[in-house]
A and B are shown apart, each in its own frame.
Chain A
Amino acid sequence: MAVCIAVIAKENYPLYIRSAPTENELKFHYMVHTSLDVVDEKISAMGKALVDQRELYLGLLYPTEDYKVYGYVTNSKVKFVMVVDSSNTALRDNEIRSMFRKLHNSYTDVMCNPFYNPGDRIQSRAFDNMVMSMMVQVC
């Protein structure tokens, strides 16, 4: 399903990044990092919209030959980036949206943990498991 899932802090440093173990990890790091260009642009474009009307899902950030990169931004400007194999046509916008929602919920749980200090790298088994489930899930 997803080949890489990343959570990026408001200041644009990675809070969490996990990619499919078979692939070159560095490549995905670069991919996620470069996608922030588009995220930044999209966020600044919708900066004027009211907060409650704001759509968190940013949609397809940019297509590459082999992958599709999707983005999502929370109200606290934490970004989620998901890389999906281009050949995986079963994943429509709706599926991606629901994946992001799941990710957001799980992230919220992490934030609710009183022992988690916002801004620290995420080291949560529950979050890990959830991300792994989204990466292996067969469509």
Chain B
Amino acid sequence: MSPTQWDFPVELCCRPMAFVTLTGLDVVYNAVHRAVWDAFCANRRADRVPISFKVLPGDHEYPKCRPKVMTPLSLLGFYFQGSKILFLKTVWFNVTLIFECWFFLIFNRLENAFYEHAQTYYYTEIRRVKSHKEFLNKTTHQLLFVRHQFKIAFFSELKQDTQNALKNYRTAYNLVHELRAHETNILEIKTMAGFINYKICRLCFQHNTPLDAIAQFRKHIDLCKKKIGSAELSFEHAAWMSKQFQAFGDLFDEAIKLGLTAIQTQNPGFYYQQAAYYAQERKQLAKALCNHEASVMYPNPDPLETQTGVLDFYGQRSWRQGILSFDLSDPEKEKVGILAIQLKERNVVHSEIIITLLSNAVAQFKKYKCPRMKSHLMVQMGEEYYYAKDYTKALKLLDYVMCDYRSEGWWTLLTSILTTALKCSYLMAQLKDYITYSLELLGRASTLKDDQKSRIEKNLINVLMNESPDPEPDCDILAVKTAQKLWSDRVSLAGSNIFTIGVQDFVPFVQCKAKFHAPSFHVDVPVQFDVYLKADCPHPIRFSKLCVSFNNQEYNQFCVIEEASKASEVLENLTQGKMCLVPGKTRKLSFKFVAKTEDVGKKIEITSVDLALGNETGRCVVLNWQGGGGDAASSQEALQAARSFKRRPKLPDSEVHWDSIIIQASTMIISRVPNISVHLHHEPPALTNEMYCLVVTVQSHEKTQIRDVKLTAGLKPGQDANLTQKTHVTLHGSELCDESYPALLTDIPVGDLQPGEQLEKMMYVRCGTVGSRMFLVYVSYLINTTVEEKEIVCKCHKDETVTIETVFPFDVAVKFVSTKFEHLERVYADIPFLLMTDLLSASPWALTIVSSELQLAPSMTASDQLESQVDKVVLQTGESASECFCLRCPSVGNVEGGVATGHYIISWKRASAMDDIPVISTVITLPHVIVENIPLHVNAELPSFGRVRESLPVKYHLQNKTHLVQDVEISVEPSDAFMFSGLKQIRLRILPGTEQEMLYNFYPLMAGYQQLPSLSIHLLRFPNFTNQLLKRFIPTSIFVKPQGRLMDDTSIAAA
């Protein structure tokens, strides 16, 4: 009985093809023969006819047909070999007869000829078997029916007629199950059923009907599952079942490799898994049935030996081959046979089979997105390795999958895995693993009963005291012996006895939460935090040391609690001591330290919490929490606690609810609270370009002297970059600041301040553009102070920000008017006009106009003195100051865009400003003006008013402004209000550059504002020169006063 007893024969598993042998070829020494052979065999492509070639020596002795046995013995024997022989006898070629040179051209035809020949042969064989079958009858030749059916199917397959092959196999399969099963032949029936089922499934996959294959397999399993056979050999049934599943899995997998698509719920993995399951059952049955005493000897002679070394028929017992009777002719022989099989089974390495199958399944499930199934199978593999005593591999697998179960919170499963892992680590005396698994098995995620936990806790304490732990229950006795030896070796072995175990990836039996009292601390108060600990193990436990590590390691030294105790006291003296944890009770350990002044503005973070169990004399375990505590399960717990509305029972003041503690692993160190006041005094808004005064008052309210007071003031950084260009700050208001001044003055030392002392600092800001700006005043100082009897120098600071609006101090409006104060669109060359400025104060504060100045452009001339008319004028809000200048513009010809007028410069300051504050000059660029030439200028000379019936002399000056002699027609239209004397209509000539005077004497007739007789001038050369234009220069009306009544005045007086 070889270990491969359950494997299918290779002949069954391969794809049957027509078989042709070539003889007389010397493929080793004759190159031509070799070439012929290669042409047939090498690189056979799929489109070539399916033939299996074999080369045999010419003197090969072909197997003889066995003499016919009288009775139809059995289902299948040396059948496969037989089929080959039959063909060999028929087709026999000596290829040396063939011309080698053109062999290559015809070998394809030759091959086809072989194939056709074979087809015919198989066809006749099928006919032969069928005709033979007709002579059979169901009652006496039941077995032969199956045999013949199988033959037909197999020949059909050789003939490449797979449809018929499948049909015949199916019939054969049904016939097998019609056979009368008995304990003596059940193995043979199952073996046959297995073979035929394999063939059917294989063909179904080949026909791309995987569902048929699966259905057939299910049917097969359902039919055979209960056909256990002999109870004493029930492991054989399990082995057979396992093989069935495995073979189907292989077929399925092979089909997938050829292009079939499997799905998550139907893939080969399930079959391998089931195969593994039966293999496990086989192992268990074998363990129960084959537990013979060591004294039981293997029978001699060996009942499993046969003459040929192999069985004549598949599935029969070697000691009763060919016997068809259901009665056991020789019970003694039977007994010995069974014993031999059982003893053989004992040598089978079941675990190896199981692990192979499981790993096949793992590979499949990995492919079909079944991570949990994969994990489960790996657990099984791990457990199997454990049974096989390969603890290293077992631990590796278990450790690998543990985290999957932990992260998903399947504590029952995790506990089960951990229990196995603990056994493995015990048996290997792996200290660190042993401790780690113990820690978790004692923890809250463990579903172990308290007595188990007690036992593990006790073992753990033993290990820490440098002693050997008690063995884990249900371990192999031999392995325990080895382990005990290993453990005692460990004890005597000197070496590193400190184990640091990072707990954030599992759920240990101590929980830890660190919490700073506040999210920030001032540097002059001690930083305080608490470390909360809670044990979940069944018995109180005493720790030896707790240390907290920070990102700034200098603080580590202040946060250590150590409690000297002997190793033996770990469990004793329980309720006293800071470091003794009572299960279920939250223990609070408070810490306090003074932060370094360098850490102001920085974050202090707890990087880890280390809790030591045991001490250096024994073994020491350091539990290491990253950050402020928390393990693999705590985040989910915190979430649940946060969601919960449950009211927690009231506890004594000193105690807290574990769930209510929230980890706070970092805190900010912030500077000491300043005890000074900073006031800003100023008069907003600021006016453009002025030296805006900001008075900063700093007063100390500290109890001691403050040193090194420094002031930083100016534009607050981080605003619009343009503002920086247009804002300048200085401490000296007496001079105007320019571009070179900064926008922010930093660290201006202002000395020391005694308690209560006050200092005032003036600063000036010049804003070049309007808009709002944020200004910052920042005062820093040093002060000595004591925290926890420790002298420290604190740097304090206080800042103030203020937003200041900048506005224009005034609006300036400029207009051009004629000497008649009429609005001018344009001015006329050489003719005087007026420039009027109007300055409207927009400042909420009174302004003093120190002076004003008109700077004329070269093209302009003043007709008169240009002295300021608004000197020393004080303007309140909304008031305005106007000036008027008489100007003249010589002829300049036609200039595009007009002629520049010049600048108007206003020098001003706030009315409230002190004398030393510089005056600000604001320059207004005056608008350009369009200058036009006129041919004739008329200038009237007349009194400012007339009087009724008194002569009113009027003189008109007519100036020729051209270089031409002008012909001028002048007429005067009479007016009702005047009589006049003078030339009423005249025509005259005016030479270039000269003027002509016209004298009239008007005689007013009526009082009031009267229209003068209008002068009408017509230039013959300039038809565009109209009276309309003329009216700009000469008055059209005059006020006429009534006649004086001196006489009447006296009469009135008389009356």
Contact = CB atoms under 8 A, between A and B. Distances in A.
Interface residues of B, number: 27
Interface string A22-34: 0001100110011
A98 to B, nearest CB: 23
B802 interface: no
Given A11-B636, A37-B373, 17 more contacts: A12-B408, A13-B636, A17-B412, A26-B413, A26-B416, A29-B413, A30-B376, A30-B413, A33-B376, A38-B264, A62-B265, A64-B274, A65-B274, A115-B646, A117-B640, A117-B643, A120-B644
* List of 6 A-B pairs having minimum Cβ-Cβ separation, nearest first: A13-B409, A37-B370, A117-B644, A34-B373, A62-B265, A34-B372
Interface string A91-133: 0000000000000000000000011011110000000000000
B298 interface: no
Contacts, number: 66
A37 to B, nearest CB: 4
A1 interface: no
A52 interface: no
Given A26-B416, A62-B270, A37 B372 contact: yes
A36 interface: yes
Contacts of B372: 33-34, 36-37
Interface string B612-650: 000000000000000000000000100110011110000
B410 interface: yes
A17 B410 CA distance: 11
Contacts of A118: 643
Interface string A8-51: 00011110010000000110011001101110010000000000
A44 to B, nearest CB: 10
Given A12-B408, A13-B408, A119-B643, A37 B416 contact: no
A61 interface: yes
B402 to A, nearest CB: 14
A25 B264 CA distance: 25
Contacts of B643: 117-119
A60 to B, nearest CB: 8
A58 to B, nearest CB: 11
A25 B274 contact: no
29 contacts: A11-B408, A12-B408, A12-B409, A13-B408, A13-B409, A14-B409, A14-B410, A14-B412, A26-B412, A29-B412, A30-B413, A33-B376, A33-B408, A33-B413, A34-B370, A34-B376, A37-B369, A37-B372, A38-B264, A38-B370, A41-B264, A41-B369, A61-B265, A64-B274, A114-B645, A117-B643, A117-B644, A118-B643, A119-B643
Contacts of B639: 119
B371 interface: yes
B277 interface: yes
B410 A13 contact: yes
Nearest to B370: A37
Nearest to B647: A115
Interface string B273-309: 0100100000000000000000000000000000000
Interface in A37-82: 37-38, 41, 61-62, 64-65
Contacts of A30: 376, 379, 413
Contacts of B413: 26, 29-30, 33
A36 B373 CA distance: 9
Interface in B303-354: none
Contacts of B373: 34, 37
For the residues of B in contact with A, the DSSP-based class is helix
A64 B265 CA distance: 10
Interface string B529-563: 00000000000000000000000000000000000
B646 A117 contact: yes
Nearest to A65: B274
Contacts of A13: 408-410, 636
Contacts of B264: 37-38, 41
Contacts of A14: 409-410, 412
A40 B645 CA distance: 31
Contacts of A119: 639-640, 643
A67 to B, nearest CB: 12
A25 B265 contact: no
For the residues of A in contact with B, the DSSP-based class is mixed
Contacts of A62: 265, 270
A13 B409 CA distance: 5
Interface string B234-278: 000000000000000000000000000000110000100010010
Contacts of A117: 640, 643-646
Identify the interface centre among B265, B270, B413, B416: most chain A CB within 10 Å of its CB. Answer: B265
Contacts of B416: 26
Contacts of B405: 33
A115 B646 CA distance: 7
A25 B412 contact: yes
A25 B412 CA distance: 9
A31 to B, nearest CB: 9
Contacts of B412: 14, 17, 25-26, 29
Nearest to B274: A65
Contacts of B646: 115, 117
A88 to B, nearest CB: 15
Nearest to A118: B643
B448 to A, nearest CB: 13
Contacts of B370: 34, 37-38
Contacts of B265: 38, 61-62
Nearest to B245: A65
A17 B447 CA distance: 14
Nearest to B645: A117
Nearest to A36: B372
Interface in B403-462: 405, 408-410, 412-413, 416
Contacts of A34: 370, 372-373, 376
A29 B379 CA distance: 13
Contacts of A61: 265
Nearest to B408: A12
A6 B643 CA distance: 23
A1 B968 CA distance: 133
Nearest to B263: A41
Nearest to B218: A63
B423 to A, nearest CB: 16
B644 A65 contact: no
A60 B958 CA distance: 120
Identify the interface centre among A17, A41, A114: most chain B CB within 10 Å of its CB. Answer: A41
A13 B411 CA distance: 9
Interface in B112-126: none
A37 B413 CA distance: 16
A80 B265 CA distance: 18
A64 B274 CA distance: 8
A73 B96 CA distance: 75
Nearest to B644: A117
Contacts of B371: 37
Nearest to B643: A117
B24 to A, nearest CB: 56
A64 B245 CA distance: 13
A55 B414 CA distance: 33
B409 A11 contact: yes
Nearest to A60: B265
A124 B644 CA distance: 17
A20 to B, nearest CB: 16
A61 B265 CA distance: 7
A122 to B, nearest CB: 13
A117 B646 CA distance: 8
Contacts of A25: 412
Nearest to A15: B409
Given A34-B373, A41-B264, A29 B640 contact: no
